[in-house]
Chains A and B, each alone.
Chain A
Amino acid sequence: MSNIKKSAVYPLLGIAVSVFVLIFGLITAAKDNRCCCIFLAGVFIVFLLTGFHRACLRVILPALAVAALFGLITYLSGRGFDKALSIGLRFIAIGIAVIPGMSIRPVDLTRNLNALKVPRGITLGMLIALNFTPLLKAEIKQIREAMKTRGTGSIINLKILYRAFLIPLVMRLVNISDTLALSVETRGFTLEGNDVSVYKKVSPRIKDGAVAALIAVCAVGALII
């Protein structure tokens, strides 16, 4: 049995759903808080029930915390509860819109774009940019730890930032990129030629259609209610 997980949604549909939830959420947050609440709650439940539960649980607490913080600041600045709620809902809308993106595997997005004949240079770059973010975070952490060990002082000091942080970071980036480029080329990847074998195609499933339909129902339902 294969252990490889699939993306929770067809990648391009995931992007479309994200954009729709974000735009609809922001517009309704500005116009009608109640409508926005119903829409976001509905979308969140749809995501929870359709395989996005991990991303939902990862996103919701930070989104609520940020929303509460900015809502509180707005309320304390004397602009009323409705305005504070509206600000909070915007942040929750952004958080919920990110959920499909978190559930798409970069490799599935790349396969999807490859099938649509998007230039391979772009798909390769996207794949690297998405996959290497955690690795670079770890690299930055290591450089910061090395700075602490050497007792270099605060990173706010421009001289220290330049000499002890930026130079080692760029050196690491160059090394990583050289190794990765070599590795990619060794595996036969080229930017030229059109004939590529895509061994695993990403196709839309019935579930994807259901997700899109349920999101649309949430939007229409929120407007009607």
Chain B
Amino acid sequence: MEKKKLFQKFTVKDIVFLAIISAVTLVTSAVMPLVIAVPVFGIIQVALGFQFSVFPAIGVMKVRKPGSVVFVAIFSGIVLVFMNPVMFACLALCAVIAEAVSLAIFKGYEKDAACFLAGALYLPLSLPFLHLWYKAIGIGDSGEAVKALVNPKPLTAVLMSLAVVAICCLGAFVGVKISKELRKSGALKK
């Protein structure tokens, strides 16, 4: 049997599906402005964790090509560029790392566990990224929310990080489950 290439070309169908997935991720993330100024470590990730793991997991489960999560990050980031350019860069980088980890372990998206891992890792990685970013550029007289992100209380940071990971794992699990169910019913074809 011919061995499949790791990096395959995306088709129009793949791009359209990933774009639609990105759009729905954006729509369901409308809660973000309400929590953006809350001075609690990782509160944004907690609020967005489910949406940012369930839909990318579904996207990867259908497309199953390396680069799928990066596409979702870029497509959903186009709206973020106008509001929070740092978050756009952060999500794109997190998507690259999440995919790299998943591909390094599973050597492709053939297994459902690889899709789960990519979906579950995507958003939690933004926590250390934003922490290091603001630490590197200095927070100066920034808002309370940024200060909470850079100098969190250790217990709060640990508990919130665990909550983010748990929510994202749940989201990715639900995404994989939905995809399996729809594939079984014939609605989700490759």
Which A residues form the contact surface with B (CB < 8 A)? 15, 18-19, 22-23, 30-31, 66, 70, 86-87, 90-91, 94, 97-98, 100-101, 121-122, 124-130, 132-133, 136-137, 140, 162, 166-167, 169-171, 173-174, 176-178, 180-181, 184-185, 189-191
A174–B187 alpha-carbon span in the complex (Å)? 8
Residue from A15, A90, A100, A190 in contact with B143 in the complex, judged by beta carbons closer than 8 Å: A90
Q: Are A124 and B16 in contact (CB under 8 A)?
A: yes
CB of B109 within 8 Å of the partner chain: no
Q: Are A133 and B27 in contact (CB under 8 A)?
A: yes
Which B residues form the contact surface with A (CB < 8 A)? 9-13, 15-24, 26-28, 33, 37, 54, 58, 62, 71, 74-76, 78-79, 81-85, 140-143, 174, 177-179, 181-182, 187-188
**Given A130-B23, A130-B79, A191-B9, 4 other A-B residues pairs in contact with their CB atoms under 8 A:** A126-B19, A128-B19, A128-B20, A166-B178
Minimum CB–CB distance for A180 against chain B, Å: 5
For A127, A129, A190, the residue with the greatest tally of chain B CB atoms inside 10 Å of its CB is A129
Minimum CB–CB distance for B139 against chain A, Å: 9
Residues of A within 8 A of B81 (CB): 15, 18-19, 101
Residues of A within 8 A of B15 (CB): 121, 124-125, 128, 191
Q: Are B188 and A97 in contact (CB under 8 A)?
A: no
- Could you give 6 example pairs across A and B, Cβ below 8 Å? A15-B82, A19-B85, A98-B82, A129-B76, A170-B182, A177-B17
- Interface of B: prevailing SS: helix
CB-based A-B contact count at 8 angstroms: 141
Residue from A94, A122, A181 in contact with B17 in the complex, judged by beta carbons closer than 8 Å: A181
Q: Are B24 and A136 in contact (CB under 8 A)?
A: yes
A15–B22 alpha-carbon span in the complex (Å)? 20
Q: Are A125 and B71 in contact (CB under 8 A)?
A: yes
- Interface of A: prevailing SS: helix
Q: Are B23 and A166 in contact (CB under 8 A)?
A: no
Residue from B22, B26, B27, B83 in contact with A22 in the complex, judged by beta carbons closer than 8 Å: B83
Q: Are A185 and B74 in contact (CB under 8 A)?
A: no
Residues of A within 8 A of B20 (CB): 128-129, 132, 136, 173, 176-177, 180
